[in-house]
Structure 1
Amino acid sequence: MHGGAGTLPRGSISAEEERGFRDGLERALRAGVALIDAGRASLDAVEAAVRVLEDDPHFNAGRGAVFDADGGHELDASIMDGRDLRCGAVAGVRNTRNPISLARLVMERSGHVMMAGSGADIFALRNGVPYTTQDHFFTRRRWDALIAAKDGQPAAAVAIGETVGAVAVDRNGDVAAATSTGGMTNMLVGRVGDSPVIGAGTYADNRTLAISCTGTGEGFIRGVAAYDVSALMEYTGAAVQDAAARVITEKIPALGATGGAIALDPHSILATPHSTPGLINGYLTRDGTIVTRLYDDETPTR
């Protein structure tokens, strides 16, 4: 799992806030592994894990989404199955509680890859997804951040919880990836970043890896970051840690963007590269050990 790239120095949040972030990551990891332990596919696991963080106000996805310039919420998500490269995505949805599940519905029931705006929300209703009002996504912290941005105040020294994502490999060696976000504080209405763009913010291929990205979305789109990591592995034989580090810490910064990613190959080798000072993330090993990493000094840069 990841909960966003940024910077989180030690001492910058309260003990209660720290518990909130770590508990959220742990709940998400346990939700995913419970399905894998039950013999379900990695695709089911990443959807379930991301749903947990979409319902957690600590994270910029679903309930804790940031506000756009008009004081509303626009939600993006994507999901991909490494077995056959099937994928689904939604952008700019406003009335769907769990965009990641809607992205999967697009993949499985629409014949399309991406749906956007009101059409995606209507598609949700037609497929039995309850209507969710915008006030469900309100949090005081995000509202205060919008007001600060409107007032021209400088960005906070602590930047946390921008985008969430999950990658998994199941007992069959199949990989899957999922990403969900509320976008950027005070962004123009209609702006879409990399999270719902297959190949930019999300990618999964059983031949290479599953990857979910977070950061300055425009740069990740321009660099086709997620697919580029997969292509390096496929065409050059690079290891997941080397390929991910090359793209995330070299290519993307050269485009003027920063961010990070979680990448997992079919052999369960994990990479967590980031060009930001830190990357909120967590993982669960085969023996059931859970590790959560919040602070800048907890996560290696590759």
Structure 2
Amino acid sequence: MAKKNSIAIVVHGGAGPDSDHIHENKKAYEKGLQDAVDAGYLVLEEGGTAVDAVDAAVKKLEDNPLFNAGRGSALNANGEVEMDAAIMRGSDQSSGAVALVRNIRNPISLAKAVMLNTKYRFLGDMGALEYAKKIDIRMEPASYFITEHQFDLFSKKREEEFTSSDRIGLDELNARMHGTVGAVALDREGMVAAATSTGGIENKKIGRIGDSCIVGVGCYANNKTCAISGTGDGELLMKNIIAYDISALMEYKGMTLQQACETVVLERVKAEEGDVGVIGVDPQGNIALVFNSERMHRGWKTSARQQGIAIYLKK
């Protein structure tokens, strides 16, 4: 049991299949995760809220071109960026989400503004963009978001689409291509929060919305139970309502955070169905990092002296 006034931050940079790109950039990925952990933990250490901590951590990941969110977002079938994000506060289950946004440097900050400053919970597409302009959220030109790595992935998938001998559908080609970033935090007041942001999947259909911006799926926070951020195959997370299911097992079955995460990710979801990963924290400062995939980029730090950065399962 963690002492009162414990603080904790956990971040993820996506769960899914391994790749040469990850191995080639392993050190840079680890530094990016550490930067996000440090940014979130500093907010908590200085007495800031869990909401501000997850916002700070996710912004670091959105600004890092290695991660599929913000600047490193995947390109859709038109070679454009469409981003989704959501944030949730555990004290009263307030939340804010945005979908299909373009030109927004940090979609998570726009989602936070929706939560804090509007009567709505979800804004999408042009409405979200107009609101961002109204409140002076930082914007960037389209070229800012198109990284060499994501353009290469886009080009490769387009080539596969047009040269496949059996004309495999675009959805099938992209079944295992995905990425997300997220964070969960516990502040000194015992409040938890969760945030998740994504650029979606390579060559996705225009207008496809994933799990990251759906409360109860991509993220969930409740001071009675936990804060969760999910990652993996979006449609699979939506089917299983991953984040809320973990909270419900804790609230109604009395499971610990670790037990609930393992039950949902390793038992209820069948590995052959696809990739799922979650990070979580409870009001006592316990953390969990569970995934069924080849890797999940993750980092954590708590006042109980737990800290680390990892990508693969530790042997």
* Cα distance, 1:12–1:104 mapped onto 2, change above 3 Å: closer
- Show the counterpart of 1:6: 16
Moved more, 268-277 or 138-147: 268-277
Q: 1:56 aligns with which of 47, 64, 70?
A: 64
SS at 1:200 equivalent? coil
2:228 and 2:306 mapped to 1: Cα distance?
21
Is contact 1:26–1:290 with CA below 8 Å preserved after alignment?
A: no
Q: Would you say the 8 A contact 1:200–1:220 is kept in 2? A: yes
For 1:254 and 1:166, locate their aligned partners in 2 and report how far apart those are by CA, in whole Å: 24
> What is residue 129 of structure 2 aligned with on the other side?
121
Structure 2 unaligned spans of 5+ = 1-10, 165-171
Matching residue within 153, 173, 189 for 1:172: 189
1:111 equivalenced with 2:119 (yes/no): yes
- Structure 1 residues 10 and 173: alpha-carbon distance in aligned structure 2, compared to 1, 3 A threshold: farther
CA contact (8 A) 2:76 2:201 kept: yes
Summarize the Cα distance change of 1:170–1:75 in structure 2 as closer, same or farther, 3 Å threshold: same
How many residues end up aligned between the 2 structures? 294
Pairwise CA distance, 1:285: 2.4
Instruction: Write the deviation string for residues 138-157 of structure 1: whole angstroms up to 9, x where unpaired.
Output: 1011011011111117999x
Higher relative contact order (CA 8 A, sep 6+): 2
Structure 1 partner of 2:230:
213
Match of 1:242 in 2: 259
Larger CA deviation: 172-181 vs 146-155: 146-155
Q: Distance in 2 between matches of 1:270 and 1:216?
A: 22
In 1, Cα distance between equivalents of 2:230 and 2:41: 21
- Pairing of 1:181-200 with structure 2 (within 5 A): 181-200=198-217
Residue 77 (1) aligns with residue 85 (2): yes
Instruction: String of CA shifts for 1:35-93, please: whole Å, max 9, x gaps.
Output: 11111111100000000000000100000001001100000000000011000000000
By how many angstroms is 1:288 displaced? Answer: 5.9
Given residue 265 of structure 2, which amino acid in structure 1 is its aligned partner?
I
1:202 and 2:180 aligned: no
1:224 and 2:241 matched: yes
- List runs of 5+ in structure 1 lacking aligned partners: none
TM-score (normalised: structure 2): 0.88
Deviation of the 1:245 alpha carbon: 1.0
Partners of 1:75 and 1:12 in 2: how far apart? 22
Distance 2:63 2:83 in 1: 13
Q: Deviation string for 1:166-205 (max 9, x for gaps)?
A: 0011112111000000000010000001000000110000
SS class of match (2:86): strand
- Aligned-pair Cα RMSD in Å: 2.2
* 8 Å CA contact 2:178, 2:233 repeated in 1: no
Calculate percent identity across the aligned residue pairs: 40
Cα pair 1:91 1:117 within 8 Å, conserved = yes
Residues 81, 199 of structure 2: 8 Å contact kept: yes
TM-score, length basis structure 1: 0.92
Distance 2:38 2:265 in 1: 27
1:268 CA displacement = 1.5
Are the aligned partners of 2:85 and 2:107 in contact in 1 as well (CA < 8 Å)? yes
Residues 73-124 of structure 1 show CA distances to partners (whole Å, capped at 9, x for unaligned) of 0000000000110000000000210000000111111211110001101100
AA matched with 2:224: R
After superposition, what is the alpha-carbon deviation per residue over 1:6-61, rounded to whole angstroms, capped at 9, x for unaligned? 133799623xx122111111111111111111111111000000000000001000
SS in 1 for 2:228: strand
